[in-house]
Structure 1
Amino acid sequence: MVIRNGILRSVSQPSGAWKKELAARSKPSPSFSEDGSKYSPRLEKALARLDELVDWERSHRSVGENRLMRVSSSPCRDLLEKLGSPQKTLRTVHVTGSKGKGSVVALIASALQQEGFRT
């Protein structure tokens, strides 16, 4: 390396060892096929194994064409009752999630304003 006109420049091309290392680093990940277009057999096998595992979140859904997610709020209601039902005096709406919060908050604000609440 040399500095010419305030610019750091290389004076030689990479040696044979460097060329091999650069070539090795530019190969696709072992997760993909040699041309990088599809998953490797090893990754395919791992993904198939993961697909076999039980999805506990969805394990209580009915099977067949009529798949419905059954969600019960009774555990939350029981807890709130044991805590003295704080939701009855709390004047806050808490919205969480990764998408749609702005739309949900706008709808809630509009509904509350129509009922005379100040938001």
Structure 2
Amino acid sequence: CSLPLKQYTHPGNGPLNLAVKLPKNCLKPNMGPMTYIAYGCAQELGRGDSVTKLHCDMSDVVNVLTHICEVPIRKEKRQHIIDKLKESHAKQDLRELFCSEANIGKKMEILEKTSEEFEDHAGALWDIFRREDVP
């Protein structure tokens, strides 16, 4: 293990790895390596768009955030893409919330008034707990 979590992740005798404590005849969760790929832009578009899609892990997970490279996009083109994505997201929200696009202008106005712009450049938001915090 290259991460400092051997107690949780060691596949044979990690004292905090619950999967190694299961009975022999029990179906064990897939403990193999997995990769989730997330992509996005530094500017949040108001709907959690720079995230890994919803998934459920059957075991403890260690997430490692890496930055591979920045793709250069001209400012005008980037703004055009962001505007199109926001419009697409708003239309999808309307369909999901109201099951139709009737009175779309009025509903769009309401959505625009309630959305806020954040210029944070966060990489991830995780809840981190110390081992001592676990009862």
Asked whether the two chains share a fold, i.e. TM above 0.5, the reply is no
Greater C-alpha Rg: 1
Greater strand proportion: 1
Q: Which has the higher contact order (CA 8 A, sep 6+)?
A: 2
TM-score range, shorter-chain basis?
A: under 0.3
Greater helix proportion: 1
Provide TM-score, normalisation by structure 2: 0.19
